[in-house]
Amino acid sequence: MLSIFRKELNSFFSSLVGYIAIIVFLLVCGFFMWVAPNSNMLDYGYATMDKFFAFAPWVLMFLLPALTMRSFSDEYKSGTIELLSTIPLTENQIILGKFFASFALVVFSIFPTLLYVFTISHLSIIKDNLDTGGIVGSYIGLLFLSAAFTSVGIFCSSITSNQVIAFLAAIFANFILYAGFETISQMPFVGNGVDYLLSQIGMQFHYTSISRGLLDSRDIVYFLSLVAIFILATKLSLQKRKWN
């Protein structure tokens, strides 16, 4: 698995892909955090990271499919998938190697945003006025959310040799899983009780729950289960192609 992890990570940083991903994430987040009218923190007037944690999932919803779309699609197109199947690695090791490489790139992208915390803490009139528990919980939630988005992107890449299709499919799947169920639960025809169950299926419910700063085992199990399901689905997709 480590060999695949290193290979994927090297491919990100030997080209412009890795650097562009990190720069784009930081620029977009920085723009909405500090510059964009009606949403920047300076106009908001409160020393809080809420704005960042509210729109960061939407940026990652597009960024991660862009990173993962080539994971298997490129292997199919170039014919190197047959070479991968001959090396002494299991399918799980190949999938996990690609998964952790993409996830590591997201971690590299998120890490510099800790500077926002330092900046906001110094802008605050009242010392130590930040909701540290909420910020830590939000970062943990963002990492779990990124892992889920990554697993979805890896799966979508495994079902097609067309990177554009893999990209669009991953965006659509991430949107449905993150905001789709929450949107449906708020529709007037959804009955009482059912709306709560529907919202619990979506990622947004559990991301928001973790962001409050209280780690609930149900939220952690939800994200880990989602990652496991899509990694298993990726494995089944690879096996299907092998026997076809």
Q: From CA 175, how far away is CA 189, in angstroms rounded?
A: 21
Give the predicted TM-score (pTM) of the model. 0.88
pLDDT digits over 5-54, tens only? 888 888 887 877 778 888 888 888 888 777 777 666 666 656 677 788 88
Q: Based on the structure, what is the number of domains in the chain?
A: 1
Domain span including residue 87: 2-243
Give the side-chain half-sphere CA count within 13 A for 185: 20
Q: What is the mean pLDDT of residues 53-71?
A: 89
What band does 232 get if pLDDT is binned at 50, 70 and 90? very high
Please give the full DSSP string across 41-77, using - where no structure is assigned: HHHHTS--SHHHHHHHHHHHHHHHHHHHTTTTHHHHH
Burial of 38 (0-12, 13-18, 19+ CB in 10 A): exposed
Q: What is the mean pLDDT of residues 112-117?
A: 85
For residue 213, the model assigns a pLDDT of 75
For residue 242, the model assigns a pLDDT of 64
What band does 167 get if pLDDT is binned at 50, 70 and 90? very high
Q: What is the mean pLDDT of residues 93-121?
A: 87
Q: From CA 138, how far away is CA 52, in angstroms rounded?
A: 10
Percent of the chain with pLDDT over 70: 86
pLDDT digits over 71-99, tens only? 888 878 777 776 766 677 788 888 999 99
Contact 83, 169 (CB under 8 A): no
Highest mean pLDDT among 70-79, 122-131, 223-232: 223-232
Percent of the chain with pLDDT over 90: 30
- Distance spanning both ends of the chain, measured CA to CA: 25
